[in-house]
Amino acid sequence: MTETLSTQLLIVGGGPGGYVAAIRAGQLGLDVTLVEADRLGGTCLIRGCIPSKALIHAADHFTAISRSSRHSYMGVSVHAAPEIDLAETVRWKDGVVDTLNNGVAGLLKRAKVRVLAGWARFINAKTCMVQTPSGPVSVTAEQVILATGSVPTELSSLPFGGPVISSTEALSLDHVPERLVIVGAGYIGLELGTAFRKLGAEVTIVEATGRMLPQYDRDLVRPIERWLKGAGVSVHLTAKARDLKTTPEGGATLTVESDSGAFRLHPDRVLVTVGRRPNTEGWGLEQIGLARQGPFVKVDDRCATSVEGVWAIGDLVGEPMLEHKAAAQGEMVAEIIAGKRRRFDPVSIAAVCFTQPEIVTAGLSPEEAQSQGLDFITAQFPYAANGRALSTGASEDGGFVRIVALKSDHRVLGLQAVGGHVAELAGEFALALEMGAVLEDIAGTIHVHPTLGEATHEVALRALGHAIHI
Ligand SMILES: Cc1cc2nc3c(=O)[nH]c(=O)nc-3n(C[C@H](O)[C@H](O)[C@H](O)COP(=O)(O)OP(=O)(O)OC[C@H]3O[C@@H](n4cnc5c(N)ncnc54)[C@H](O)[C@@H]3O)c2cc1C
């Protein structure tokens, strides 16, 4: 028998968009039902941001020990090469994921959110059926938030299965592949490729366009290219992975076509990271009658869809497909439904690429400021002139912090950096832009010594023409 349930707010998808919306709505006193088919935390927590950063951290730990086993580094040496038991690493990573997953469940409980485990399928805009372990439940709601996220894009020539894997499987392998081919040089492919190279895999990157990490300008990407070259990663640009043939013995031959002709690779795994697409299938989007914008669900600056009382957030509604955008939209929509006046109008959405070294960007690059016809000033401060970066090895792969500001009133338009651990600068970059800081605000803020943040201080001073440490 079908159980029926009426709720003020129904949220479909328990990723960072959906669960944050649910917690905020619960805090604001709404009666909330959250439906999640898999595990609370969504892509980010279960098979994305957190597991990938855990793997990257383990790979860095392995690299540091390997280095000291080859020669004394900082006076530290070890007398045997380290070994990696990837199955054990994955168990450790799963422990981190479990802790966070339990944490999300606890927070939802505290906010009095009703959680239904199961796949939701809409019958009309305000009613869906959920197949829960204890039977079907029909949920009718006054308001609906769609937060169904995204899924990896498959290549028709290389469908997932066998040796062809997506980032999800790459984060749960039981051993390090000997020869790993990565198809697609976006941030997910490069982050994972870098980690597997550090763990000992022979890594080859095949990218159809003429450059990797196309969302970042060349100056930011150069240190990553240098590291990949030094680490022996083969990168084939303007090359297309065409066809994979496997043998019964488990061997594989991948044919790649490039400008200079076709060639073959013999990977034991092919990781396809050619992008992600919004999850718009299998849950009755058509029954709701939502307008689309390309592959995404169309929303306005309040995340309202074309159907009254139906909202959509996160990866489902467009780029950038990032955790912090999904969470910010979730919080905002919960507040709008509870009666607050809000709009999604961030000055910037900062982004980090956790490669070796890392990249962080917020706001406009010089190229973007130029293309908008703005009259701007820009400056760079080398990471190697920062005491903290030097004393922790963070500047070993080079790097810099860069600022872009309007010439007229010095309002900061953009901040970017490349270098070890620059991800930690993201908060200050985003805050400066959101608060409408001018160069003098950053220059006039006393930054703690010795920290990487001092490079942000120095770059503002440099743009004003009086850096101290360069
Ligand atoms: C390998 C990898 C690394 C990443 N690293 C980063 C990073 O470092 N930083 C960053 O900001 N972002 C990162 N991302 C992107 C980030 O994971 C996403 O932007 C974020 O998870 C989007 O949140 P969301 O709530 O929109 O959707 P999701 O997290 O995808 O959650 C959607 C949820 O909805 C559920 N669902 C879907 N349909 C239904 C249905 N019909 N019924 C019930 N449940 C349903 C799904 O099971 C899923 O749990 C990474 C992604 C990947 C794959």
Instruction: Give the whole-angstrom CA distance, residue 460 versus residue 411.
Output: 11
Query: Per-residue confidence at 149, pLDDT binned at 50, 70, 90?
Result: very high
Does any domain span residue 237?
yes
Query: Per-residue confidence at 287, pLDDT binned at 50, 70, 90?
Result: very high
Instruction: Look at the chain and report how many structural domains it folds into.
Output: 3
169 and 254 share one domain: yes
- CB-CB neighbours of 42 under 10 Å: 28
CA distances to 72, 198, 374, 456 from 150, in Å: 45, 28, 35, 34
Q: What is the pLDDT of residue 396?
A: 95
Does any domain span residue 66?
no
364 and 309 share one domain: no
196 and 224 share one domain: yes
**For ligand 1, atom 48: residue with the closest CA:** 42
Using the predicted structure, report yes or no on whether residue 260 has a pLDDT greater than 90. Answer: no
286 and 269 share one domain: no
* pLDDT 10s digits, 376-401: 999 999 999 999 999 999 999 999 99
16 and 135 share one domain: yes
**For ligand 1, atom 17: residue with the closest CA:** 44
Reference 142, options 22, 34, 9; nearest CA is 9
401 and 330 share one domain: no
Does any domain span residue 255?
yes
Does any domain span residue 71?
no
Last residue of a domain, one of 274, 303, 318: 274
Does any domain span residue 141?
yes
130 and 192 share one domain: no
* pLDDT 10s digits, 60-114: 999 999 999 999 999 999 999 999 999 999 999 999 999 999 999 999 999 999 9
Query: Per-residue confidence at 273, pLDDT binned at 50, 70, 90?
Result: very high
Cα-Cα-Cα-Cα dihedral sign, residues 202, 206, 207, 210: positive
Mean pLDDT of the chain: 97
**For ligand 1, atom 27: residue with the closest CA:** 149
Q: What is the pLDDT of residue 440?
A: 98
Amino acid identity of 167?
Answer: S
Does any domain span residue 450?
yes
Mean local confidence (pLDDT), 148-153: 98
Mean local confidence (pLDDT), 248-277: 93
Q: What is the pLDDT of residue 449?
A: 98
> 43: domain range?
3-48+89-152+277-337
| β-pairing verdict for 310-312 and 135-146 | parallel
Q: What is the pLDDT of residue 1?
A: 83
Pick from 20, 23, 24, 43 the residue to mutate for probing ligand 1's pocket: most ligand atoms within 8 Å of its CB: 43
- CB-CB neighbours of 69 under 10 Å: 14
17 and 126 share one domain: yes
CA 97 to ligand 1 centroid distance, Å: 14
* pLDDT 10s digits, 227-242: 999 999 999 999 999 9
Q: At what angle do helices 49-70 and 187-198 cross, to 10 degrees?
A: 30
Using the predicted structure, report yes or no on whether residue 250 has a pLDDT greater than 80. Answer: no
Catalytic residue from among 449, 457, 466, 469: 449
Compute the chain's Rg from CA coordinates.
24
Pick from 49, 131, 171, 274 the residue to mutate for probing ligand 1's pocket: most ligand atoms within 8 Å of its CB: 49
Closest ligand 1 atom to residue 323 Cα is: 11
Q: What is the CATH number of the domain that holds 412?
A: 3.30.390.30
210 and 292 share one domain: no
Query: Per-residue confidence at 136, pLDDT binned at 50, 70, 90?
Result: very high
Instruction: Give the whole-angstrom CA distance, residue 332 versus residue 390.
Output: 41
Closest ligand 1 atom to residue 53 Cα is: 8
Last residue of a domain, one of 274, 293, 318: 274
Query: Per-residue confidence at 248, pLDDT binned at 50, 70, 90?
Result: confident
- Entry pTM: 0.97
263 and 288 share one domain: no
Ligand 1 within 6 A of CB of 273: no
Pick from 34, 35, 40, 44 the residue to mutate for probing ligand 1's pocket: most ligand atoms within 8 Å of its CB: 44
Residues in a beta bridge with 202: 179
Sheet holding 261-265, edge to edge: 239-246, 252-258, 261-265
Query: Per-residue confidence at 137, pLDDT binned at 50, 70, 90?
Result: very high
Closest ligand 1 atom to residue 17 Cα is: 25
Q: What is the pLDDT of residue 247?
A: 82
Ligand 1 within 6 A of CB of 151: no
Q: At what angle do helices 187-198 and 218-230 cross, to 10 degrees?
A: 30
Q: What is the CATH number of the domain that holds 207?
A: 3.50.50.60
Ligand 1 within 6 A of CB of 217: no
Ligand 1 within 6 A of CB of 52: yes
Last residue of a domain, one of 274, 294, 324: 274
Closest ligand 1 atom to residue 170 Cα is: 1
Question: Catalytic residue at 469?
Answer: no
Convert the chain into a string of H (helix), E (strand) and C (coil). CCEEEEEEEEEECCCHHHHHHHHHHHHCCCCEEEEECCCCCHHHHHHCHHHHHHHHHHHHHHHHHHHHHHCCECCECCCCCCCCCHHHHHHHHHHHHHHHHHHHHHHHHHCCCEEEECEEEEEECCEEEEEECCEEEEEEEEEEEECCCEEECCECCECCECCEECHHHHCCCCCCCCEEEEECCCHHHHHHHHHHHHCCCEEEEECCCCCCCCCCCHHHHHHHHHHHHHCCCEEECCEEEEEEEECCCCCEEEEEEECCEEEEECCCEEEECCCEEECCCCCCHHHHCCCEECCEECCCCCCECCCCCEEECHHHHCCCCCHHHHHHHHHHHHHHHCCCCCCCCCCCCCEEECCCCEEEEEECCHHHHHHCCCCEEEEEEEHHHCHHHHHHCCCCCCCEEEEEEECCCCEEEEEEEEECCHHHHHHHHHHHHHCCCEHHHHHCCCCCCCCCCHHHHHHHHHHCCCCCCC
Does any domain span residue 468?
no
Q: What is the pLDDT of residue 249?
A: 76
Burial (CB count within 10 angstroms: exposed 0-12, middle 13-18, buried 19+), residue 412: buried
Pick from 323, 352, 354, 358 the residue to mutate for probing ligand 1's pocket: most ligand atoms within 8 Å of its CB: 323
Q: What is the pLDDT of residue 213?
A: 98
263 and 226 share one domain: yes
Could you give the count of Cα atoms lying within 13 Å of 170 in the half-sphere of its Cβ? Answer: 33
Q: What is the pLDDT of residue 49?
A: 98
Ligand 1 within 6 A of CB of 15: yes
197 and 211 share one domain: yes
Query: Per-residue confidence at 333, pLDDT binned at 50, 70, 90?
Result: very high
Q: pLDDT > 90: what percent of the chain? A: 98
Does any domain span residue 201?
yes
Q: What is the pLDDT of residue 35?
A: 98
Ligand 1 within 6 A of CB of 416: no
